[in-house]
Structure 1
Amino acid sequence: MLDTRRIQSGSTNSFWTRFSGFTPNSKAGLPTEFKRLARHMCWVPNSDEWRKYREEAYTSEFEFWYGSDSTKLERWQQLCEEVGISPAPPSITKCRKALRGVHINLVDLVNCRRSGFGRPRRFQSYQQLRNYTLNRRTYPKEAAKKEGFIKELLRVLL
């Protein structure tokens, strides 16, 4: 049961609106929107400032769509269903365990919410996810390591 109220209303995460002169596009993909903001703010790619704001943008965007209260069973079940685990398990512990077996790109997960279209691609193996992610869309490791929903989907890409 995807909560589409934010998508339908065109709501925008307040992270994007706090930069003077920057007009956010709530339908743009997360990496694209961050690159646009970084250019607007003249942040040098991979600088400390760029990394700091990238982590903040990604964390803020994930929390905007999924929340930060990982003590609510309904949120865990919603995430399970969104990544194709249906029916969703009846407890947080079982949801966490089920999510550990899912290979999903975290940026794609957020982008699906931003766009309101479809489900994120589910990879059959860690290797497929790794190949896709390293060449395209990595989520800031520091942000993903924080306790909560996203930690269960985090995969170390060696």
Structure 2
Amino acid sequence: MSHTPVSGVAAYFAQFEGFEFDATRGIIPEFDRLCSERSWGKKRRQTARRKLNGFIAEEFNAAYGTLDNDLIQWQTLSRELRVEPVPDSVSQCKQAVKRIHVNIVDLLDARARGEQVRLHRNMHQLAQYSIRTGKIFPKKQAKAGLLLKYLLRQIY
């Protein structure tokens, strides 16, 4: 029996024997379930979350790319963020994406489910939602991918 290599978020969860990751439930709810099942305390949970963030960045980069000047990658991201019409240049895509308020974890969850991602009206709404749900992606981690940095917003 051959196994397909697992990458991104699924690879993170695959490290834990006996844990069956269900992408349809969402990354953070599944992370919370893992922590609960393993009875991890605050310190272990924080360490695990930092590691998970690296896998989230990997997943984003695999889905959307890492090149700052690749029009196809930018247009793919723009389509999933419901930018209409989809811009014809990288600079137009960047400008459009900068105006979008989306939670990065939600973007990946929606992609995994084949659904449209939830967009927020403004930065304040995005910040409140991200804090309430615990779906916060650290700025230093996100800078690993050039496209990813365009979705970063100052939450705190």
Q: TM-score range by the shorter chain?
A: 0.7 to 0.9
Q: Conserved in 1, the CA contact under 8 Å of 2:21 and 2:30?
A: yes
Q: Which of the residues 11, 17, 24 maps onto 1:27? A: 24
1: CA distance, partners of 2:120 / 2:51: 29
Q: Conserved in 2, the CA contact under 8 Å of 1:54 and 1:140?
A: no
**1:1-158 equivalences in 2 (<5 Å):** 13-47=10-44, 48-117=46-115, 119-141=116-138, 142-158=140-156
For the structure 1 residues 40 and 72, does the alpha-carbon distance in structure 2 shift closer, same or farther, using more than 3 Å as the test? farther
Partner of 1:6: none
For the structure 1 residues 66 and 46, does the alpha-carbon distance in structure 2 shift closer, same or farther, using more than 3 Å as the test? farther
1: CA distance, partners of 2:125 / 2:23: 29
Q: TM-score, normalised by structure 2?
A: 0.77
2: CA distance, partners of 1:61 / 1:137: 18
**What is the one-letter code of the residue matched to 1:112?**
A
Q: Conserved in 2, the CA contact under 8 Å of 1:103 and 1:125?
A: yes
Q: Conserved in 1, the CA contact under 8 Å of 2:24 and 2:113?
A: yes
**What is the one-letter code of the residue matched to 2:98?**
R
Q: Conserved in 1, the CA contact under 8 Å of 2:79 and 2:86?
A: yes
- Give the RMSD, CA atoms, in angstroms: 2.4
For the structure 1 residues 33 and 65, does the alpha-carbon distance in structure 2 shift closer, same or farther, using more than 3 Å as the test? farther
Residue by residue over 1:68-103, the C-alpha shift from the partner in whole angstroms, topping out at 9 and shown as x without a partner, is: 445432121011011111222122222112111111
> Relative to structure 2, which stretch is displaced further, 126-135 or 97-106?
126-135
2: CA distance, partners of 1:43 / 1:67: 33
Shift of 1:122: 1.9
Alignment length, in residue pairs? 146
Q: TM-score, normalised by structure 1?
A: 0.77
